[in-house]
Amino acid sequence: MSEAGSESGERLVGLFLELASLPSPTGGERLVADYLKERLGRTGLMVVEGPPVGEGSQAAGNLYCHIPPSAEGTPILFSAHMDTVVSEPGAMPEPLVEGGIIKSGSRAVLGADDKAAIAAMVLAVERVLEEGRTHAGIELLFTVCEESGLRGAKASSMESIAAECGFCMDCTGKVGGIVVRSPSQKTIRARFSGRAAHAGVEPEKGRSAIRAAAAAIAAMELGRLDDDTTANIGTIKGGDAINVVPASCEIEGEARSHDPDRLEEVVGAMMGAINLAAAQEGVDVETVVVDEFSGFDFRSGGQPLELAARAVKRLGLEPSYISTGGGSDVNVLNLKGLKCVNLAIGMEKLHSPDEFIAVESLVQAHRLLMEIITEAAG
């Protein structure tokens, strides 16, 4: 009998379907948080909830749970996020299984990103306790607001964390993929303030904020700048009417690089273009640069990478090492001092109503967790 059809496989799919049927748009994770508190509470574990991060009655805080060790070894932490993106406001999730594939039966996203990881984690802990498996200490961190700027992870307190290393389970692609390298990212915002004037009667008296913003963007080097570095201006807003010289314009963008010095250089050049264009057009400009997250690089080794790679091999798979341009909670946890890698869990076509995960992949993701727990206690 294949593992997908086994008792634990059926239980895993049932658990995932329950989680996926609870809407948890980013900032409104209440239903999933309550479900997890109740479900893990049944095993006798205490689940601690942090202060709410989103706004409104459906907001929730990060959940934290500790399973004290029963053996020597490396204490570990698993992390996943409870929120999902919203593909169509108001659409209710209707997860279904068809031909070994779990997908959405409505316009709502399935939310395997990241509930597949949550299901794999919860079942792992339940089995460890039920089967009396030895382990070296397991902590679970379920974050909120990952999809809206990693706000949950950023707000998380690491004070009580005993783990020596961690595993975020939030990467698309086949089980066995391990994200070993991720860039740092900075966000840039600029608000140009010119002077309004009638465009047909006295344009000479105006100072166009849109023209300044356009000149700044045109002077920037954007897109893929080198193998390690990207830059983008993602939004532009400005102007009030076609017959008015626009007095205001705002732009937002970002830069990412695996090389922190190069990132500084690129952001410096983007800021230079903004300030120069403002000066040449005679408008004022206010700018903000925010450190969104910092990168990591485990290509030369490290505890979480080695544990994950050994666990992947125990599944009979070959680890594949991924260098990504994206950022997730894993960047924040590394920044906070916990060495973490991000693991692929088999989910596909994320952030769209076509998102899906194969039952086989979900089961593999769960088995990978079980193997990491075993390896950490070895």
Q: Quote the least distance from Cβ 203 to Zn ion, whole Å.
A: 49
At residue 322, what are phi and psi to the nearest 5 degrees? -110, 130
* Alpha-carbon distance values, 345 to 113, 246, 330, 360, 369 (Å): 9, 49, 14, 11, 10
- Asked if residues 162 and 75 have their Cβ atoms less than 8 Å apart, the reply is yes
Nearer to Zn ion, 114 or 371 (CB): 114
Nearer to Zn ion, 113 or 164 (CB): 113
Q: Quote the least distance from Cβ 58 to Zn ion, whole Å.
A: 19
Residues 253-312 that bind Zn ion (CB under 5 A): none
Binding flags for Zn ion, 312-331, as an x/- string (CB under 5 A)? --------------------
Q: Give SS3 for 209.
A: helix
Which residue from 83, 126, 164, 170 is in contact with Zn ion, where contact means CB under 5 A?
170
Nearer to Zn ion, 114 or 254 (CB): 114
Provide the token pair at 214.
């356009």
Q: Quote the least distance from Cβ 336 to Zn ion, whole Å.
A: 18
Residues 6+ apart with CB under 8 A from 349: 355, 356
Q: Quote the least distance from Cβ 315 to Zn ion, whole Å.
A: 22
Interaction of residue 29 with Zn ion, rule CB under 5 A? no
Binding flags for Zn ion, 225-264, as an x/- string (CB under 5 A)? ----------------------------------------
* Range in contact with Zn ion (rule: CB under 5 A) among 93-101, 163-171, 186-194, 231-239: 163-171
Q: Is 146 a catalytic residue?
A: yes
CA angle in degrees (0–180, nearest 5) for 4-167-44: 70
Nearer to Zn ion, 114 or 139 (CB): 114
Separation between Cα atoms, residue 155 and residue 165, nearest integer Å: 19
Provide the sign of the torsion angle of the four alpha carbons 144, 10, 377, 368, taken in this order.
Answer: negative
Out of 83, 139, 164, 329, the active site residue is: 83
- Cβ-based neighbour number of residue 274 at 10 Å: 25
How many amino acids of this chain bind Zn ion (CB under 5 A)?
3
Question: Can you state the angle between helices 30-41 and 112-130, rounded to 10 degrees?
Answer: 10
Cross-strand partners of 356: 103, 348
Q: Quote the least distance from Cβ 117 to Zn ion, whole Å.
A: 8
Give the closest residue to 255 by CA, choosing from 245, 264, 244.
264
Interaction of residue 114 with Zn ion, rule CB under 5 A? yes
Nearer to Zn ion, 29 or 114 (CB): 114
Separation between Cα atoms, residue 34 and residue 63, nearest integer Å: 10
Out of 29, 114, 139, 146, the active site residue is: 146
Q: Quote the least distance from Cβ 81 to Zn ion, whole Å.
A: 6
Nearer to Zn ion, 111 or 206 (CB): 111
Interaction of residue 126 with Zn ion, rule CB under 5 A? no
CA atoms within 13 A on the CB side of 300: 1
Which residue from 113, 139, 281, 375 is in contact with Zn ion, where contact means CB under 5 A?
113
Q: Quote the least distance from Cβ 146 to Zn ion, whole Å.
A: 6
At residue 210, what are phi and psi to the nearest 5 degrees? -65, -40
Provide the token pair at 67.
């399973």
- Binding residues for Zn ion (CB under 5 A): 113-114, 170
List active site positions. 83, 146
